[in-house]
Amino acid sequence: DQQVKQNSPSLSVQEGRISILNCDYTNSMFDYFLWYKKYPAEGPTFLISISSIKDKNEDGRFTVFLNKSAKHLSLHIVPSQPGDSAVYFCAASGTSGYSTLTFGKGTMLLVSP
Amino acid sequence: EAQVTQNPRYLITVTGKKLTVTCSQNMNHEYMSWYRQDPGLGLRQIYYSMNVEVTDKGDVPEGYKVSRKEKRNFPLILESPSPNQTSLYFCASQAAGAFNNEQFFGPGTRLTVL
């Protein structure tokens, strides 16, 4: 049973516009949600995270929104840049300390000039 | 530079020939993990280790072994590789005190088993 779902395999956006990547989860025990970005031939790199006690976290052009009642989170990139083209993974984990990261299947974002 | 390194980066082998993929981190992290990435399946955890001599199975441990004899190293061992283990493998590490459970990933090892 897939606990973290990214239902859009790909997304195309024009440079300067907003990119919205979505993620749904089923386990209400998740405490932290993370977004990773992955370029080809590189490992995933951490982008931004949000605690389950918050509904928004912002870092520069990246904002993550969490809707606990809907078990849904989204990553907004504004404005989108061609260098943002990558695969984005949503991940969820339990309480702080050490907890396994459960990943979604990823969404490939393509930002065209 | 803080990093997770993996070797080799690319490996082509044949069915049944034992191999080891090494992983090392220089951040003094307690926790380390191995993942595999397959098309359409995302990242799935193979094994993880919470400290030296402490390892446990992840979601897809069959056909793999690990060991954690030193804090910095966490090798992945395939005793008898099979073609269904052809995949992209990532090692990751995490500090015990990380408030959001952020993991740092290595560059990946692309394994092909013929």
Is pLDDT of B62 > 70?
Answer: yes
What pLDDT, on the 0 to 100 scale, is given for residue B63? 97
- What is the mean pLDDT of the segment spanning A83-88? 97
A61-81 pLDDT, tens digit per residue, is 999 999 999 999 999 999 999
Which has the minimum average pLDDT: B1-10, B35-44, B69-78, B94-103? B94-103
| Residue in B42, B90, B106 nearest the CB of A104 | B42
Cβ–Cβ contact B94 with A under 8 A: yes
Is pLDDT of A96 > 70?
Answer: no
Is B107 within 8 Å of A44 when comparing Cβ atoms?
no
**Count of CB atoms within 10 A of residue A29's CB?**
12
Task: Give Dmax (Cα) for chain A.
Answer: 41
What pLDDT, on the 0 to 100 scale, is given for residue B97? 78
Is B98 within 8 Å of A96 when comparing Cβ atoms?
yes
Is pLDDT of A94 > 90?
Answer: no
